[in-house]
Amino acid sequence: MVTVKNKTITVQNYIGGNWVPSSKNQTYNRENPANIEETVSICPSSTTDDANHAIEAAHEAFKTWSQVPAISRAKYLYKFADLLESHKDEVAELLTREQGKPLSESLGEVNKTIGEVRYTAGEASRLSGETLPSERENVQIRTVRVPKGVIAAISPWNFPLVTPLRKIAPALSAGNTVVFKPASITGAMGAKITELFEKTGLPPGVLNLIIGSGRSVGNQIVNHPKVRGITFTGSTEVGSSIYQLASKRLVEVQLEMGGKNAAIIYDYPDVEGAVTQIVGAAFAAAGQRCTSISRIIINERDADRVYAALKEKAEEYVIGDGLESNTTMGPLVSKDQLITTQKYVEIGHEEGATLLTGGEIKIQEKDGYYFRPTIFTNVKSNSRLAKEEIFGPVLSIMTADSFTEAIEIMNDSEYGLAASCFTKNKDYADQFVAQAEAGMIHINNGTISESHVPFGGMKASAVGPYSIGSTAKDFFTDLKVIYNAN
């Protein structure tokens, strides 16, 4: 249940078609990161027993939901998309109040979600198999895709609407049931998603919401024997832990994790145009995106132009409450993120990097978690600033003596999510595509993903099939091979 009093939202878990409190009646408050005196939501602090009840409800519902025709399952997703579209302003405002990003970015996330859900609804009718010839006479062979069972969907706080739907929508489309655990600090958005699904008439138990910490709820979901697939988006550290736990039960995982994405500018005459795209990719959501560009590698001869353009673009940002119409960058999501960002600025100074702009908190009257867009130059490629994911508005600039060296610097990372290259040299572009160790490659544009295209990475950025698009079915279904002798 979602109730609102004086703009504070009180939410509960949703288990087996019922809104219920934590079994211990424990709650926690979530503040507005733009105004920490304002409480956005009061959420349940759930227990392992609550998680077990949610899993049992999903397991029971799977028996009937998996038998519902695919086209009928898709109708619930289309209806959800229609409901989201009719409530887009309300949902976007909640997203901004709870997560902090500017309202324009929140509306963009809502619209992207609508597009992805409608695409995924259509995928329900495209879960096709194959007919294969046999080596023997009078034998027919075919393959079919079948749902896995109960899917645990564990989502992050940076995109609290679109990321959960990248898990929930394909799971339901394929005939699975879901136990959905949103990030604790965006529990109200998790409840809003669930509330909209309830309005579609989705049968009880098909989607279950459980809000609580990773320790009390997340681990139980991962370890429960009736959970047959785990889809997670978050840090590489937590994803690695989930992978270890799931491997003990031989359960498949789909993990979307960290990134330290680089953009190369080399032999590209429109330096200012490249910088405009890179800055947008670096500082959207205050740099709190796994696909944020956080490193730039350039030719030394372009340094002055790049530095001047970067400084100008970064200092154009208007920092403030995301609900204010002129705001172009909101606060960081929490005090922890603010402290982490400050720590990396100190590390940058200690490592001898040069601060080009930013590097300090932007103080507001109501003390939100604000931090200015920050750019360091003269960053060493083996430094912590260049290597570690900050998840904040900090951009590091390095130089290379050749394009080959630029690629080597880019690939010298544990991560491999996205990469961009700005060049008019066709040989460089071909070399970049062939050698970049990243799952999503962008030539002459920023790290923008589209609603029907597979999304994923390499190395420590991902494990398992890519989400979205045609690859989602590889995780959300199992394959059966059928031999039929006449």
Which residues are marked as active site? 256
Closest C-alpha to 10, from 195, 163, 155, 168:
195
Environment class of 240 (CB within 10 Å of its CB; exposed 0-12, middle 13-18, buried 19+):
middle
> Residues near 10 by Cβ (< 8 Å), separated by ≥ 6?
1, 2, 3, 4, 41, 42
Neighbours of 449 (CB within 10 A): 19
Which residue in 420, 416, 150, 388 sits closest to 298, CA to CA? 420
Alpha-carbon span 85 to 91, nearest angstrom = 9
First and final C-alpha spacing in the chain: 55
Contact partners, residue 247, CB within 8 Å, separation at least 6 = none
For residues 170 and 177, give the distance between their C-alpha atoms in angstroms, rounded to a whole number.
10
Rounded Cα distance, 403 and 405, in Å: 5
- Residue pair 410/435 in contact by the 8 Å Cβ criterion: no
C-alpha to C-alpha distance for 217 and 209, rounded to whole angstroms: 11
Q: How far is residue 289's CA from residue 404's CA, in Å, rounded to a whole number? A: 27
| HSE-CB of 192 using CA atoms within 13 angstroms | 23
Separation CA 270–CA 268 (nearest Å): 6
Residues in the chain: 486
